Structure 1
Amino acid sequence: MISLSVVTLAKGRPDHLVNVVRGLSMQTVMPSELIVAVMQEEEYRLPDAPFPIRQMRITGESLPLAAARNAAARAAVGEWLVFLDMDCIPTPTLIADYAGFLKAHDALLMGEVMYLPGGATAGDWSCDAFAAIAEKHSDRRGPPASGVERCQDYRCFWSLNFAMRRDTFLSVGGFDERYVGYGGEDTDFGKVVDRAGVAIAWIKGGLAYHQHHPHHMPPVHHLDSVVRNAELFEAKWGYRTMGHWLHAFRLMGLVDDTPGQPIRILRRPEAGDLALTGQQSHQPYANSARVLRLLEAEAARTAAPDRASVAVAA
């Protein structure tokens, strides 16, 4: 029997968490337990499962993601940890895949993620049905053709679906709990792991299907925490992270992120900003690259008359 705990963070979206439990209950190899770090007042009503489920209340600010992951990892009984977001339905071999790779590799291992459109879980609830309609995220690289492939850039780490040996996770100190709210804590953790000499790698397998939910990319709805966490990262490492989001915020007139100065929020997001960045019901995922292309094209059009005026004056 393997010794592996699954960790997920939960706030709202009870149907998504129920689907995670359903997916874990269909595994070819069962986990030792599921730990749910609950970031809301009430616990969840979850279906029975062939493994223990523990719900831990996490107190603190609205989204204490780093602290929640650390608390769940410390409480886990498994020698190995799989971190799976509550909107990710595991395929039947996810646990077996991770267990096989963790046995051979003391590394941070990143599994595959495919994205479902709205309504996908309301009909034929099966991974075969999901496979027929799921899409790969255009901004994320895919898995290797087979086995394990080491990642040379810690910035590629994404906490959506990953696994580590518990002792290794704790030895590097876990996530920095000063990061509160959305943004920055993943890149920080990737850098910490890389600095500790622990390999970051993609695996072929460990596939999960991401459930559709409304989202914004770039995350204008998390403007304050992105700014705060970018400045925390800079104070810690000497440079800012989330540069593509800050670039988009600057083009939208939301921030002034002049290098060497504190980031200033110039205005609050309005309806037009939310409409531009919002995920539509037919889209499996929100896409920062798409929005940036639109913003940069608009900035180029706006700048063109100014350049023409300068040329005439000259």
Structure 2
Amino acid sequence: MKRCSLITVVKDEHTHLAKLLHGLLISTHTPAEIILVNVGNNIALPEVTPVGVIKVILDNTDEDISLAAARNAGVRAARYDHLIFLDVDCIPSSTFVENILEIMQHTDGLVMGQPRLIEENIDNHFTEQDLLKVSKDHPETPPIKIALHKEDDYSLFRSLCFGVNRKRFEELLAFDGNEENAELSDSEIGNRACKMGIPFYRSNTPVYQQFKTIPSPQ
């Protein structure tokens, strides 16, 4: 299996980050590198972290940069062409990285996991069964019943948990840091991908969004 870079933007969400990293620690496949784009204060890493390289970039930056610019910085720092983006408040299921990477090797587009919403706080030593017990289907993303679905409804795209190869990322320019594209919403990214003919796939591999209110897509 090819190697991948996992990119997460962090702004002082240390509790969420610890749970994300624990999710990767119990995963069936670990990214070759984990890039933490720090746009807040110093990142506090837990004592036990996933096997692999953890890079912290933009550490202690005084600049107020957009999410788009932060993701771009993560891509520039990535060594590998298979990129997985995971929001800091998301916990990957044990097979998320393995399944998304496997799909990316046989497709050429956006590959999104299946978001689920955690309804209560959990400690940092959870199991996959714990996550299933305290979570429910994402209210804005109906689950699919098969392992992989080529989606025609691009309005369902969510950037909180997806993979894309570097070439497609650069073509899409979804997270371009200039003023025009810096704050594209998920629906706008989906619309752009649709117009460019970039395929959109949905995997039923779960990702668990940690306890908080989820805003409706813009």
Aligned Cα root-mean-square deviation (Å) = 2.2
Q: Does structure 2 conserve the Cα–Cα contact (< 8 Å) formed by 1:2 and 1:32?
A: no
Report the counterpart of residue 79 of structure 1 in structure 2: 81
- Corresponding letter in the other structure for 2:143: G
- Structure 1 150/77 Cα, relative in aligned 2: closer, same or farther at 3 Å? same
Paired residue secondary structure (1:112): strand
Per-residue CA deviations over 1:281-306 (Å, capped at 9, x if unaligned) read xxxxxxxxxxxxxxxxxxxxxxxxxx
Partner of 1:284: none
Q: 1:135 to 1:77 in 2, by over 3 A?
A: same
Equivalent in 110, 116, 119 of residue 117 of structure 1: 119
Report matched runs for 1:83-98 at 5 Å: 83-98=85-100
2:209 corresponding residue in structure 1: 210
Structure 1 residue runs without a partner (length 5+): 219-240, 243-314
* Higher fraction of helix: 1
Distance 2:176 2:155 in 1: 16
Runs of 4+ in 1 over 6 A off after TM superposition: none
Say if 2:115 and 2:141, in contact at 8 Å, map to a contact too: no
Residue matched to 1:141: 142
Q: Higher relative CO (CA 8 A, sep ≥ 6), structure 1 or 2?
A: 2
> AA paired with 2:54?
I
Alignment CA distance shift 1:103-1:174 (3 Å): same
Q: Give the CA deviation at 1:166.
A: 1.8
After TM superposition, the score normalised by the length of structure 1 is 0.62
Tell me the distance in 1 between the aligned counterparts of 2:214 and 2:139: 16
Equivalent pair of 2:111/2:200 in contact (CA under 8 Å): yes
Structure 2 residue runs of 5 or longer lacking an equivalent are: none
**What is aligned with 1:295?**
none
Distance 2:27 2:2 in 1: 13
State the one-letter code of the partner of 2:208.
Y
User: How far apart are 1:90 and its partner, in Å?
Assistant: 1.0
Q: Specify the code of the residue in structure 1 equivalent to 2:95.
A: T
Q: Which residue of 2 aligns with 1:130?
A: 131
Residue 40 of structure 1 pairs with residue 40 of structure 2: yes
Mapped partners of 1:186, 1:59: distance in 2: 27
Q: How far apart are residue 104 of structure 1 and its match?
A: 0.8
Report sequence identity in percent. Answer: 24
Answer with 1 or 2: which has the greater Rg.
Answer: 1
Please list the CA deviations of residues 28-73 of structure 1 after superposition, one character each: whole Å capped at 9, or x if unmatched: 1221111111111423334333111011116643x61111111111
Structure 1 residue 125: deviation in Å?
1.2
Q: Aligned with 2:31: secondary structure?
A: coil
- Equivalent-residue separation in structure 2 for 1:27 and 1:187 (angstroms): 30
Match of 2:66 among 55, 64, 78: 64
Distance 1:133 1:185 in 2: 28
1:105 pairs with 2:99: no
What secondary structure sits across from 1:193 in the alignment?
helix
Q: How many residues align?
A: 213
1:1-314 aligned at under 5 Å gives the runs 1-47=1-47, 48-57=49-58, 60-61=63-64, 64-121=66-123, 125-143=126-144, 145-177=145-177, 178=179, 184-205=184-205, 207-213=206-212, 215=213, 217=215, 242=218
